[in-house]
Structure 1
Amino acid sequence: MWKVQPTEFLKRTLNPIRILWETNQPKGNPEIPNIYLQLGDPTIYGNFLPHSNCAKAISYAVLHDKFSYLESSGLKEAREAVAEYCKHMGNVTADDVFLTTGCSMAIETACRALANPGENILTPEISWNYTTWMNGVGIEARGYSLLPEKEWEIDLDHLESLIDDKTRAIVVNSPGNPCGNVHSKKHILEIIALAERNKLVIISDEIYEFFTMPNVEYHSFAELSENVPVLVCSGLTKRFLIPGARCDWLVVNDRGNKLENLRTGFRNAAGRNFFPNSSLQYALPSILRDTPQSFFDENNQKIYKNAQIVFNKLKSVKGLKSSIPKGSFYMLIGIDLNKFPKIETSLQFMQMLADEQSVFVLPSECFNYQGFIRIVLTATEEMLAEASDRIKKFCECYYEY
């Protein structure tokens, strides 16, 4: 008999969100409609759609595309457009830009470029699944603490205590998923100073760039760093509301040219054919150039209004702790499990909420954390109001003094 065993790569390549969700999938209450608030895809409810310019640009590109192989790093005109789009970071040129099939690929490329098997990269302890892109290839994702009482700032003392002679980089995420944090200019400068002291590169996941609430300032790490190299991972997925396009990028911001040898490595990695399809690359300059600022402003306002709806309905619910996020489009809601003695974990809270009230959320176990649930704020106002009422009803059933 054949007995083909999975490789160590397959055994260690685990996506905690997918595994937890797919193995603990509740069915919902058949007597009331399901409300899905777990998937970070802003387009599925129909109320957040890409600007009409995107469809026009892609349609034109498809009609005029010869579907030829392009440069490994991406079409030069597309990379030039990204460089222009990223001018807030400083002097970015097309040679600093590498197009990738999704932001996940950009993050994976950055991690594998900086660390060898047996070395480590520091990642947020409550975060999107960065471990997926590291553990499979033998890189340790070493988690540092965030401080919920300080709007999810990084615990700098804990972060620095984790650094050893095998630490190669720090992953940061602002605006953040799932916390909705947006690091202040002062805090970003503190993180950069720590990285400079320890000679560590920063990998900055900025896929939610500029997705902030009113009166919240957004700063890119690359914009503020003078001496520390920053690898910025971003793209069209969130801000432009076209996650299925899978057209994103890695930008090398290295004013001191400390990563000179790494650029050749990035070009080598690009030769593995991770660049987006040709039509998207041809459309990219028009998408970046012609999407008006009003489109982004309106979306931010809609997210803020949705956050207010949920917060106002849940702020007085006993056993829960919620606040309006500063950025991205998620709200992380704390659960005082001591007040719900029949519920042991946030995973069980999620399962029971779905089974009884047909509200589907993500438990913080998906983000290597305990005691929270995450909801997506891109559903319609009516859906979010109804979901909030059901969450309140559920909590009232199980809360005990």
Structure 2
Amino acid sequence: MEQKMAAWGFNKQKRTVTIRDFLEIIKRNLKENDERGVIHLGHGDPSPYPSFKTTPAAEEALLNALRSTHFNGYPPAAGLSAARGAVAEHLSKDLPYKLSGDDVFLTAGANHAIEVVLTVLARPGANILFPRPGYPLYEARAAFSNLEVRHFNLLPERGWEVDLDGVEALADDKTIAMVVVNPGNPCGNVFTFKHMLEIAQTAKRLGILLISDEVYNHIVFGSNKFLPMGILGEGTPVVTLGSMSKRWLIPGWRLGWIAASDPNGVLKKSGIIESIENYLCITADPATLIQGAVPEILEKSTDAFFSRTNETLRESADACYATISEIPSLSCPHKPEGAMSTMIEINPLLLEDVKDDVDFALKLAREESVVIMPGSVLGLKNWLRLSFSVEPATLRDGLERIRAFCSRHSNTYKDESRIEKICFIKSYA
């Protein structure tokens, strides 16, 4: 006798595509048996490359923590007090006021920090403002918290500044926060103090929390100096998300933080700090061992180590910008000044058999064994995100393969009237 299936009352959670998801799709399209090898320009993990090794001070600190046998047990939910205090002291060097250890909450990397903050802020009917292009994990976490996402644009013609008029138009009485990323991932920009002040004033006027993602803090090599958004905390409260992953080149160590830059105590009075503390009691902790190493890492890491990393990235960013500028079908509207990636615009009218950015990435992998991230995954169609945090020689090889790909797929118009037609179409596209 045929039995009916039970109705279990479970609806599958809608899933947002992440960078890791799409990189796996691209990898399945890679050219087989390419003797040249695969060049990965699609993610921001520099740690496999010899030019991007962490400082010996970090390795020694981790070994010292291990040998001490003091860090084999469970840590407090918000993190070891010595590690929290060390991070607070480290961040305070760039601020006009002092943070205490109570202002810092340790997380298992910056992705975990995003999870904590978005979960704590979520409430029925609320919305949150994210930049476009942006980091897809924010959308994925918001979806799991049933937060409505609204996107404001970053403006390439203005060095990827925030479209503050767009922010004003998007926000309403259900808006809980806006996220800014500085230095910019994926755009490679660094905000000026003037623009940061405009952002903070806009958040204050709208009455929304300002979340500043500073995972790439101090990874700068252009004309703009890195300044933390927390310097404006006396005007409007700022929640800063950071980690050791990028600056110390140790993403696998999974040590991040949430820092409350709020000298007036607004976040404490509103209950946000208590909510963060409560959530940390029921979520994962960063490993006690890495927490134990944090004070020594922060104390003994040298400026020379950070300068070497920034200089390598500067040379790679320059090479990337120069090469892309020579490829007619591609353009990079803003020379990277920080972080580890940049955004490149595609002109599909100048390419044969390439429909859009996704098609470009899949065919580039298949024909040239180069992995690059389509901008559509980051919210910007017909753009590409290129990570230049690889070995310089590898980057040069990858850029030449991209050049060869674009040349092979280039439209060739010998008739001048047809060239004029293409320009006309482009101007009105």
Q: What residue is the counterpart of 1:77 in the other structure? A: 82
**Paired residue secondary structure (2:16):** coil
Letter in 2 for 1:121: I
Q: What residue is the counterpart of 1:237 in the other structure? A: 245
Q: CA 1:6–1:30 in structure 2 vs 1: closer, same or farther (change >3 Å)?
A: farther
Letter in 2 for 1:319: S
Q: After TM superposition, which residue ranges in structure 1, 4 or more long, deviate above 3 angstroms?
A: 1-8
Asked whether the 8 Å contact 1:189–1:225 carries over to 2, the reply is: no
Q: What residue is the counterpart of 1:378 in the other structure? A: 389
1:328 to 319, 328, 339: 339
What residue ranges of structure 1 are gaps of 5+ in the alignment? none
Letter in 1 for 2:359: Q
Q: What residue is the counterpart of 1:172 in the other structure? A: 180
* CA–CA distance in structure 1, aligned partners of residues 261 and 7 of structure 2: 44
Q: What residue is the counterpart of 1:19 in the other structure? A: 21
TM (norm. structure 1) is 0.95
Which stretch has the larger CA shift, 314-323 or 288-297? 314-323
Aligned pair 1:119/2:126, yes or no?
A: yes
Q: 1:2-401 residue pairs with structure 2 within 5 A? A: 8=11, 11-24=13-26, 25-28=28-31, 30-31=33-34, 32-66=36-70, 67-87=72-92, 88-89=94-95, 90-129=97-136, 130-260=138-268, 261-322=271-332, 323-400=334-411, 401=413
**Paired residue secondary structure (2:177):** strand
Q: CA 1:5–1:205 in structure 2 vs 1: closer, same or farther (change >3 Å)?
A: farther
Asked whether the 8 Å contact 2:191–2:224 carries over to 1, the reply is: no
**Once the 2 structures are TM-superposed, how far is the Cα of residue 379 of structure 1 from its aligned partner?**
1.2
Q: CA 1:68–1:184 in structure 2 vs 1: closer, same or farther (change >3 Å)?
A: same
**Paired residue secondary structure (2:295):** helix
Identity %: 31
**Paired residue secondary structure (2:207):** coil
Letter in 1 for 2:294: L
1:345-370 CA deviation, whole Å, 9 max, x = no partner?
10100111111111111111221211
**Once the 2 structures are TM-superposed, how far is the Cα of residue 336 of structure 1 from its aligned partner?**
0.8
Aligned Cα root-mean-square deviation (Å):
1.8
**Once the 2 structures are TM-superposed, how far is the Cα of residue 45 of structure 1 from its aligned partner?**
2.2
* CA–CA distance in structure 2, aligned partners of residues 273 and 250 of structure 1: 14
**Once the 2 structures are TM-superposed, how far is the Cα of residue 4 of structure 1 from its aligned partner?**
8.7
What residue ranges of structure 2 are gaps of 5+ in the alignment? 414-429
**Once the 2 structures are TM-superposed, how far is the Cα of residue 288 of structure 1 from its aligned partner?**
0.9
Q: CA 1:379–1:23 in structure 2 vs 1: closer, same or farther (change >3 Å)?
A: closer
Q: CA 1:4–1:150 in structure 2 vs 1: closer, same or farther (change >3 Å)?
A: farther
1:319-344 CA deviation, whole Å, 9 max, x = no partner?
11024311101122111112114211
Asked whether the 8 Å contact 1:180–1:326 carries over to 2, the reply is: yes
**Once the 2 structures are TM-superposed, how far is the Cα of residue 63 of structure 1 from its aligned partner?**
1.8
* CA–CA distance in structure 2, aligned partners of residues 290 and 254 of structure 1: 28
* CA–CA distance in structure 2, aligned partners of residues 42 and 143 of structure 1: 29
**Paired residue secondary structure (1:217):** coil
Which stretch has the larger CA shift, 265-274 or 352-361? 265-274
Q: CA 1:63–1:3 in structure 2 vs 1: closer, same or farther (change >3 Å)?
A: farther
**Once the 2 structures are TM-superposed, how far is the Cα of residue 257 of structure 1 from its aligned partner?**
1.1
